[in-house]
């Protein structure tokens, strides 16, 4: 959970529509119940998933597969058919939506996505109430909520996103730098290619490889695991600006406002 401030406005008109002003404080929360992540692992791309690399990760995902395999099974034949899909080593496993198993998949997907949305909504309300108790009545609004692990139906096709977000016209999309790095809010380009409707939810790995230059400005970071408060220098923004230039050039995502980190909490989970 990180606190940012509006640092540079690119598009005054859209920023005004969003209700943002320069130096306004933004709270960026990266959180998920993990249920959608695990379920997406079962039926999305199976190769090169870092969560399944460790022994603990493999046990977690295998346990989820077995539960989904045995749950509501009505015959040995049905269990065998499910096992062939759940433990397949193929890159993708097709499910036909007009079959019993396909309809079961859709029901589970709806449950997972709604569960995640409901849990995040409750957490937002908790944050709003906490801030109001600490600082009195304040004008807090939710700017955008969306998932970076999802399987949804779009234009008669099912789209699985792992570590990426769905792009929506006229709604803010966030490309996150890191806790010590600027981030960018943008909107989808009007003339982008038909199927370019996704963007990465963060680029910290790219930034760490490309840039280690730090500014004199510092932010406070509180580690909840060991209760340590540290000062961290903010890094230069060239790598993420280069990334946004590429997205803008392809008209996938046009930058609207740049935000600068103020403070953050590490290892915050719910």
The DSSP code sequence of 226-258 is TTEEEEEEEEPSHHHHHHHHHHHHTTSEEEEEE
- Residue 181 in contact with residue 207, Cβ under 8 Å? yes
Return the closest-CA partner of residue 51 out of 225, 114, 39, 267: 39
Tokens found for residue 93: 């496993």
Per-residue model confidence (pLDDT) at position 48: 46
pTM of the predicted protein model: 0.74
CA distance 4 to 227: 21
DSSP labels, 89-149: -SS-----TTSHHHHHHHHHHHHHHHHHHHHHHHHHHHHHHHHHHHHSS----------SE
Per-residue model confidence (pLDDT) at position 45: 45
Per-residue model confidence (pLDDT) at position 120: 82
**What are the counts of helices (DSSP H) followed by strands (DSSP E) for the chain?**
7, 11
Tokens found for residue 46: 């199976």
Per-residue model confidence (pLDDT) at position 247: 85
Per-residue model confidence (pLDDT) at position 53: 59
Where the chain has pLDDT below 50, the residues are 44-45, 47-48, 51, 270
pLDDT in tens, 17-54: 998 999 888 888 776 555 555 665 555 445 445 545 56
Per-residue model confidence (pLDDT) at position 205: 61
Question: Kind and range of the H or E element at 63?
Answer: helix 55-70
Per-residue model confidence (pLDDT) at position 266: 67
Return the closest-CA partner of residue 2 out of 122, 238, 240, 177: 177
How far, in Å, are 9, 26, 143, 215, 220 from residue 2 at the CA level? 20, 8, 15, 18, 10
């Amino acid at each position: 959970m990180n606190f940012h401030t509006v640092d540079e406005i690119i598009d005054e008109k859209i920023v005004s529509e969003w209700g943002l002003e320069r130096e306004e404080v933004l709270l960026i929360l990266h959180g998920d119940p993990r249920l959608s992540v695990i379920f997406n692992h079962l039926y999305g791309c199976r190769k090169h998933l870092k969560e399944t690399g460790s022994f603990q990760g493999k046990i977690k995902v295998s346990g989820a597969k077995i539960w989904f395999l045995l749950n509501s099974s009505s015959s040995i034949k049905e269990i065998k058919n499910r096992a062939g899909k759940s433990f397949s080593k193929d890159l993708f496993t097709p499910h036909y939506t007009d079959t019993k198993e396909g309809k079961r998949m859709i029901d589970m997907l709806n449950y997972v996505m709604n569960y995640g949305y409901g849990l995040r909504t409750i957490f937002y309300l908790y944050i709003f109430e906490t801030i109001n108790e600490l600082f009195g009545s304040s004008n807090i609004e939710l700017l955008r909520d969306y998932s970076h692990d999802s399987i949804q139906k779009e234009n008669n096709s099912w789209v699985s996103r792992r570590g990426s977000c769905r792009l929506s016209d006229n709604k803010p999309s966030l490309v996150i730098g890191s806790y010590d790095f600027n981030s960018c809010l943008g909107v989808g380009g009007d003339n982008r290619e038909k199927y370019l409707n996704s963007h990465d939810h963060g680029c910290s790995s790219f930034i760490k490889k490309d840039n280690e230059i730090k500014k004199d400005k510092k932010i406070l970071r509180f580690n909840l695991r060991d209760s340590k408060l540290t000062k961290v220098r903010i890094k230069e923004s060239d790598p993420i600006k280069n990334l946004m230039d590429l997205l803008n050039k392809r008209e996938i995502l046009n930058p609207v406002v740049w935000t600068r980190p103020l403070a953050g909490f590490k290892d915050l989970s719910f």
